[in-house]
Amino acid sequence: MYVYGRNVLKEIIKAKYPVKNIFFTDSKKVDKTLNDLINLAEKNKYPYSFAPDKVLQKMSGISKHQGVVIDIGKEFRYADEEILETLREDATIVILDQLQDPHNFGAIIRSSIAADADLIVIPKDNSVEVTPTVIKVSVGLAFRIPILKVTNLSRFIEEIKKQGYWVYGADMSNNVYYKTDLTGKVALVMGNEGSGIREKVKSKCDALISIPMANDVDSLNVSVSAGILLFEIYKQKRGE
Amino acid sequence: MYVYGRNVLKEIIKAKYPVKNIFFTDSKKVDKTLNDLINLAEKNKYPYSFAPDKVLQKMSGISKHQGVVIDIGKEFRYADEEILETLREDATIVILDQLQDPHNFGAIIRSSIAADADLIVIPKDNSVEVTPTVIKVSVGLAFRIPILKVTNLSRFIEEIKKQGYWVYGADMSNNVYYKTDLTGKVALVMGNEGSGIREKVKSKCDALISIPMANDVDSLNVSVSAGILLFEIYKQKRGE
């Protein structure tokens, strides 16, 4: 899988994520930032080579590759289910039930790390996966948080409930998000763009929480709702 | 300009926004929701006709038009500067400084109405405008809030400051958003996706406010930040 962009490479190196190769543009018009990146790759012993812009464009499928395309191997490296045992006490888990849009997924990954969440979970089927677009929209932050694919979200929710997590679903309800205690071991479930959280998954949640809205608007863009809720969790967990 | 989608038509009718014509699909496989929409258009005396799916696709440039394409005339109807005099006491103004991405703009429009904002302002140059994509992403809510284009954002900010507005720019600063009093006449300035608020515009703001973030992340997707800040304003203005 070819991913691209300067922030993306920076995050890959920061995360010590293994790659097959880094392709830098062989154009003579290389600016300082790109040179710094080449030095950073060199210093961290990453394999790299140079290629014409046209080749970079063909690999990435995009002209705005910023002079950097990275071959990260066959597939994005998802986390194992054992990851649960390694999470800190009072972790925050973000569960995305059949999200479809790569821009929403990328933005939610970015917000998750910024709001100090510990794990993102998606279902194996009918869900957007970690694609080059998702990675780009996440400004490379997809490499900084474990992302787990599970076969059965309902079963996963049951499992973490046994481990002491409180599972909140974002949906219409009378529980205003900022009046709900969101501290401790918390999981937040966000639903699909059009249809929200599936009934079966919703029934597994401990509670549903809502963002009060004006003017009879009944929903927000899912990455916006996720951001609002994640930053409330982050705020409460810091005791503010 | 051809806009499309069922929610979009619903909002147009709700807003009593004038259109040139509504084109419904002439396909026999029309479901109940579409029939309801046709009746709604009829009842509200909107001009409409039927056309083959292929024609709808050609007009909208998209296959997911949901059987509805609306000709809203030459351009989206922006607000006049006189709108300022009609706003309620304690209005909220959202100012977008050279936003580029239609998905971000559409999501911010949606959040603005949901958070009870009164006016959205964009600069005439170097800014995304209200396009069919923006309208679609806003789920048609673009028709429910006045959107003003101004030649000079800095001058506009000076003008509203004279009228008693407090102008907050979203930027790195020590002012945590939820520790800042955001009640009263408030304007919120959001910057461009890559470079944030322009220095000149920033210097006109009364204060900068920030969202505290973990893991050295220094920014969020702009529609996510806007959502977090707008819902804090909405919360504070309701005295919560």
Residue-wise pLDDT for A4-43, tens only, equals 999 999 999 999 999 999 999 998 877 899 999 999 999 9
**Is residue A208 classed as helix, strand or coil in its secondary structure?**
strand
Whole-complex ipTM? 0.94
Taking the C-alpha atoms of residue B113 and residue B108, their distance in angstroms, rounded to an integer, is: 9
Four-residue CA torsion sign, B69, B70, B75, B78: negative
Residue B202's domain is classified under what CATH number?
3.40.1280.10
Q: Do B237 and B183 touch, CB atoms closer than 8 A?
A: yes
If you ran DSSP here, which 8-state letter would residue A142 be given? G
Q: Are residues B105 and B23 in the same domain?
A: no
What pLDDT band is residue A175 in, cutting at 50, 70 and 90? Answer: very high
pLDDT (tens digit, 9 = 90+) per residue, B125-183? 999 999 999 999 999 999 999 999 999 999 999 999 999 999 999 999 999 999 999 99
Q: Cβ–Cβ of A227/B220 closer than 8 Å?
A: yes
- Radius of gyration of the CA atoms of chain A, in A: 19
Q: Are residues A54 and A105 in the same domain?
A: no
pLDDT (tens digit, 9 = 90+) per residue, B37-46? 999 999 999 9
Any B CB within 8 A of A204 CB: no
Q: Is residue A95 part of a domain?
A: yes
pLDDT (tens digit, 9 = 90+) per residue, B93-135? 999 999 999 999 999 999 999 999 999 999 999 999 999 999 9
Q: Is residue A132 part of a domain?
A: yes
Of A30, A51, A71, which one is at a domain's C-terminal end? A71
Q: Are residues B187 and B115 in the same domain?
A: yes
Q: Are residues A159 and A112 in the same domain?
A: yes
Q: Considering CB atoms only, which of A115, A223, A228 is closest to B221?
A: A223
Of B71, B98, B121, which one is at a domain's C-terminal end? B71
Q: Cβ–Cβ of B214/A240 closer than 8 Å?
A: no
Q: Cβ–Cβ of A214/B240 closer than 8 Å?
A: no
Q: Cβ–Cβ of A111/B240 closer than 8 Å?
A: no
Distances (CA, A) of A211 to A214, A224, B38, B87, B228: 10, 11, 32, 25, 11
Q: Are residues A9 and A30 in the same domain?
A: yes
Distances (CA, A) of B171 to A58, A130, A240, B79: 36, 29, 21, 27
pLDDT (tens digit, 9 = 90+) per residue, A225-234? 999 999 999 9
Compute the nearest-CA separation of B111 from chain A (Å). 6
Q: Are residues A175 and A148 in the same domain?
A: yes
* Number of domains within chain A: 2
If you search the block for the tokens 């979009």, which residue do you land on?
A: B8
User: How are beta strands A92-96 and A119-123 bridged, if at all?
Assistant: parallel
Owning domain of residue A93:
81-238
Q: Considering CB atoms only, which of B116, B220, B238 is closest to A111?
A: B220
pLDDT (tens digit, 9 = 90+) per residue, A37-68? 999 999 999 999 999 999 999 999 999 899 99
pLDDT (tens digit, 9 = 90+) per residue, B18-74? 999 999 999 887 789 999 999 999 999 999 999 999 999 999 999 989 999 999 999
Q: Considering CB atoms only, which of A107, A217, A231 is closest to B228?
A: A231
Any A CB within 8 A of B10 CB: no
Q: Cβ–Cβ of A114/B214 closer than 8 Å?
A: yes
Compute the nearest-CA separation of B223 from chain A (Å). 7
pTM here? 0.95
Q: Cβ–Cβ of B178/A235 closer than 8 Å?
A: yes
Q: What pLDDT, on the 0 to 100 scale, is given for residue B30?
A: 78
- Contacts of residue A226 in chain B, CB cutoff 8 Å? 224
Taking the C-alpha atoms of residue B35 and residue B67, their distance in angstroms, rounded to an integer, is: 11
Residue of A204, A176, A173 lying closest to A189 (CA atoms): A204
Q: What pLDDT, on the 0 to 100 scale, is given for residue A29?
A: 77
